[in-house]
Amino acid sequence: MTTEPCDGCGRSVQIAGGIANFWTFGGDASEGLTLEFQDGSEHLLCYDCIERLPEDARAADIAALDEYEHTGDE
C-alpha cells in the first residue's frame, strides 16, 4: 500500500490497491477516499475529515477542515 497526505488535515492516508499487495489477496483497507467536487477539483480525505464535511460539501469546505484541525474547534 502507498500513502498520501489527507487534503483536509495532512495526516497520512493509506491507499489500497496497486501492486504492493498483489500476492496477499487480503482485504486491502483504505483509510480514505478521493472526492470529486462539481468544480472539477479532487481531494483525498481521510474518513475523519469526510465525516466533518457538511451535507452538501463544496471544495471550499476543505480549507475549513484544515482550520478545524489546527485550532481544535468543534
For 42-64, the pLDDT digits (tens) are 999 999 999 999 999 988 898 88
The predicted pLDDT at position 28 comes to: 58
Q: What does the mean pLDDT of the chain come to?
A: 80
The predicted pLDDT at position 2 comes to: 80
The predicted pLDDT at position 16 comes to: 74
Task: Give me 65's grid cell.
Answer: 477542515
**Count, residues in the chain:** 74
Contact 53, 33 (CB under 8 A): no
The predicted pLDDT at position 60 comes to: 87
Check pLDDT > 50 for residue 9: yes
Number of C-beta neighbours around residue 60 at 10 A:
10
The predicted pLDDT at position 42 comes to: 93
Contacts of 2 (CB under 8 A, 6+ apart): 14, 15, 18, 20
Contact 28, 16 (CB under 8 A): yes
Task: Give me 54's grid cell.
Answer: 457538511
For residue 71, the 8-state DSSP code is H
